[in-house]
Homo-oligomer: A and B are copies of this chain.
Amino acid sequence: MKEIKIGLVGFGTIGTGVVKLLSANSQLIEEKLGARLVLHKIADLDITSDRGVAIAPGTLTTNVDEVLLNPEIPVVLELIGGYEPARTFVLKAIENGKHVVTANKALLAVHGEEIYAAAARKGVEVLYEAAVGGGIPVLSAIKGNMAGNHFTTVLGILNGTCNYILTKMTQEGADFGEVLKKAQELGYAEADPTFDVEGIDTAHKLSILLSLCFGTRISFKDIYTEGICAISAIDINFARDFGYKIKLLAIGKRNGDRIEARVHPTMIPVNYPLADVHGAFNAIRLTGDFVGPVMLYGRGAGMEPTASAVVGDVIDVARNLVAGIQRRCAPLGYLDGSVKTLQIKPTGEVISKYYIRFSAVDKPGVLARISGALGRHDISIESMVQSARKAGETVPIVIMTHEAKEANITAALVEIDSFDIISERSNLIRVENNLE
């Protein structure tokens, strides 16, 4: 049987998962592929720790060039993560004519353009299903069977740490800091959780989804990004009263030649399918002009699901090699020459509904001043709740607006927050309830 030799760079959690899968399911893969996938070389700085998986002698090396420059290896897996040296390694592999499979969303979000251009020059494939949604086969579905569609919307719950924290806050009524601490103890959050809780990881993934859905290059730096640190138990309770849940949502919409691209805590109706995505699960909801709405749901992280996506990509490349071709599909699913530049709509022009929680002194005339300011900025109120009453003290006043322009909301909040009756900065959460 034909052998296809694979080189692996990065023998961490995902790398170990890939080794496990290739070993456990080797016969299955041969039955599907008609070729044997052989892990020929694994490069890592640490080649002595026991990962609990059997490795053939001579496979491990600390010299990454034994993978990147190895003429026997047509497929390189980059599973070290982060920007560098991942970028250097991936480019070197491509320059040496290797197909690349990676799980590295940060790398692609920031250096995707450079990597895809290098891959086009060398005529190799770059695949990265594991970079978004863990084991969920969403990128291959966009590039593959749904390729005939113009996509209009993509919504995603893409970060398991944030979704775990928000789920726990919702279930237990606990505050952010408390739940984060517990999540760190349990291993659901990193010691430094910045990339996750600030929404950066989600923005990386959204930039990849947007590129595939809209055939464009989006820098993740242009994506409006707001994390979940400012969400408090009180907001989650008010959301429930209004019939909503709060999720960290990645939102991409196409309006003509402009794109809305934003990551922020979002209130979604409790009966909306994404509202039932709990804990470390991820989900992506896409709307295509012919297929309509489609949702894909599964484990967004973890050794085994991520390994499933990585090996799926390897099988894809290997099918090409078995068939005797090098490249069948460009990294974005569009021909390299067809990738367009689309403008991101300025945040101020985005139209949405809003939940705003004001901290106001409870005295007559407060609501008139707040609603007056909103009215002057062309914002109309859908409903208002002032649940507690403590004359002379600070109480929360919650307002749900009708659809309004974000620039108007921002200007109104600057004005209102300067009122003497307002004791704290107002808290704004966007509402997404357009179900199509």
Contacts and interface: CB of A to CB of B under 8 A. Distances in A.
A353 B58 CA distance: 52
A82 interface: no
A390 B128 CA distance: 65
A13 to B, nearest CB: 13
Interface residues of A, number: 62
Contacts of A304: 289-292
A294 B292 contact: no
A319 B312 contact: no
A414 interface: no
Given A290-B135, A295-B298, A319-B328, A149 B313 contact: no
Given A273-B297, A291-B304, A137 B141 contact: yes
A338 interface: yes
A28 interface: yes
Nearest to A134: B291
B319 A329 contact: yes
A146 B323 contact: no
Residue from A147, A295, A334 whose CB has the most chain B CB atoms within 10 Å: A147
Interface in A284-341: 288-299, 302, 304-305, 307-309, 311-313, 315-316, 319-320, 323-325, 327-329, 333-335, 338
B28 A150 contact: yes
Contacts of A305: 290-292
A335 B28 CA distance: 10
B288 A293 contact: no
A29 interface: yes
Given A304-B290, A328-B319, A312 B145 contact: yes
Given A288-B308, A319-B328, A297 B297 contact: yes
Nearest to A302: B292
Contacts of A424: none
Contacts of A144: 137, 140, 144, 312, 316
Interface in A130-152: 135-137, 140-141, 144-150
A284 to B, nearest CB: 10
A335 B25 contact: no
Contacts of A320: 323, 328
A149 B308 contact: yes
Contacts of A160: none
Contacts of A215: 28, 31-32
Contact of A290 (B290, B291, B307): B307
A183 interface: no
Nearest to A312: B145
A335 B34 contact: yes
11 contacts: A28-B150, A29-B147, A137-B144, A144-B316, A145-B308, A149-B308, A273-B297, A289-B304, A290-B305, A291-B308, A296-B296
Interface of A: 17, 21, 24-25, 28-29, 31-34, 129, 135-137, 140-141, 144-150, 215, 271, 273, 276, 288-299, 302, 304-305, 307-309, 311-313, 315-316, 319-320, 323-325, 327-329, 333-335, 338
Given A29-B147, A290-B304, 13 more contacts: A32-B147, A32-B215, A137-B141, A137-B146, A140-B145, A145-B309, A146-B312, A148-B308, A148-B311, A273-B273, A290-B308, A296-B297, A323-B323
